[in-house]
Amino acid sequence: MTVVTRFAPSPTGRLHVGNIRTALHNSLFALKHDGRFLLRIDDTDLERSKEEYVEAIVTDLNWLGLKAHAMVRQSERFALYEREFDRLRAAGRVYACYETSEELDLRRKVLLGRGLPPVYERKAEGSPVPEGIAPHWRFKLDHDAPIEWDDLVRGHQKFDPRLISDPVIRRADGSWLYLLPSVIDDIDLGITHIVRGEDHVSNSAVQLQMFDALGARHPHFAHEALLVAAEGKLSKRLGSTGVDALRDAGIEPMALLSLLARLGTSQPVEPKTGLAVLAEGFDFATFGRAPAHFDLNEVEQLNAKLLHHLDYCEVANRLPEEVGEAEWLALRGNLAHLGEAADWLAVLNGAIDPPEVVQDDKPLLAEAARLAGELDWAGDPWRELTDALKASTGRKGRGLFHPLRSALTGRDSGPEMGPLIKLIGQQRSIDRLVAAAN
């Protein structure tokens, strides 16, 4: 069996981290099993679906490296849904209903008041049909067929269909709701594993009977605990966790994906440089059932760790031209975001404003300027300069290193000075030391 998974977003907004996690896990599972990962655009709601969001979803997934083997749109598959709907109707598994939402709400309250489950009550066959009212359509559950499956995350699941309302699958205006088209697509596309949030568990229970009614084999299900943040359940309203915002903030895709691949599992979270490495250790058996807590601070930490180990060839096309391999190796250990490399260009080969220097440090910097002119810059000028200054001034530790760093870079902290001073160059270093001393 070839593993086939799918990610099925609705194009009614931008992707957020909860969506990304679902897409990632579908992609990783398919990758691990040398299978296929499909993108299905759930755009049956023609009024709310926007082409700009379709384009944004594809752009975001491509930026993340989660490229699907194929993409389909539900809006282009209405003929297939119609055909399967007619087949279910002929088999007696779909029936028309005429109640208004107000009537249904009132009936639910009556049932609850009697201590009964608020399950939809089917009308007797031959009940009068109201005139001038278009029906909505429900799928008829088989009350004699218990619903069970072994979930890859939640373990054995069991539902009593008598306690579930026959779900509405089609509105009175002919438009489709989520449940039936999704099943029809999963059958037609050969989906073998459905990976999604635990808020879909009850949907899966209903959809299993739809697979049966259509004579199709059941897919495997993995219902993951939901992702939560400080604000609560993640949703599209949390723009701060959208893909576009994360990209604009300078987050590396693999920093985000490294966290989302392991969040909620018993595995350690470590920065990885590629999806193949993440896929090797991906296993639904490691996922717990407690909500997974997403923290942007963890992404930031992973982002820095990832940058600190990236080779120049992996980032060269995203760096300023002035930053070559030597510059990258000198700077990367001090960067939290790739864009910060450009902030160091003036330090490396431009002009900086002389720092404010306390009077006691000026003789030290003047002596450093004199010694810098005598050093062989082809060797290890930073070590030689500091060793000479220790001998001539008696200074050491912060009292020695901080004034030098400040004079040479205009900053109180930064990358290691050994490689940095060689990139700054001898004459520029002397000039900066002289300027600071005066």
The pLDDT > 70 percentage for the chain reads 97
Q: Does residue 221 lie in a domain region? A: no
Banded pLDDT at 55 (limits 50, 70, 90):
very high
Q: Does residue 243 lie in a domain region? A: no
Residue-wise pLDDT for 167-201, tens only, equals 999 999 999 999 999 999 999 999 999 999 999 99
Average pLDDT, the chain: 93
Q: Does residue 151 lie in a domain region? A: yes
Banded pLDDT at 135 (limits 50, 70, 90):
very high
What CATH number does the domain containing 402 carry?
Answer: 1.10.10.350
The sign of the torsion formed by the CA atoms of 355, 356, 360, 366 equals positive
Assess whether pLDDT exceeds 70 at residue 124.
yes
What CATH number does the domain containing 158 carry?
Answer: 3.90.800.10
- Where among 170, 197, 215 does a domain terminate? 170
Nearest alpha-carbon partner for 421 in 435, 433, 437, 438: 433
Residue-wise pLDDT for 250-277, tens only, equals 899 999 999 999 999 989 999 999 999 9
Tell me how far apart the alpha carbons of residues 104 and 123 are, in angstroms, rounded to a whole number: 13
Structure tokens at 167: 């779900």
Q: Does residue 153 lie in a domain region? A: yes
Q: Does residue 129 lie in a domain region? A: yes
- Where among 170, 186, 202 does a domain terminate? 170
Q: How many domains does the chain have?
A: 2
- Where among 170, 192, 222 does a domain terminate? 170
Averaged pLDDT, 291-318: 93
Q: Does residue 187 lie in a domain region? A: no
Domain span holding position 369:
351-437
Assess whether pLDDT exceeds 70 at residue 281.
yes
Q: Does residue 285 lie in a domain region? A: no
Which pTM value belongs to this model?
0.89
Annotated ligand binding at 236? The verdict is: yes
Contact between 54 and 278 (Cβ < 8 Å): no
Q: Does residue 101 lie in a domain region? A: yes
pLDDT at 247: 86
Quick one: which H or E segment has residue 206? helix 201-213
Residue-wise pLDDT for 203-241, tens only, equals 999 999 999 999 999 999 999 999 887 555 554 444 446
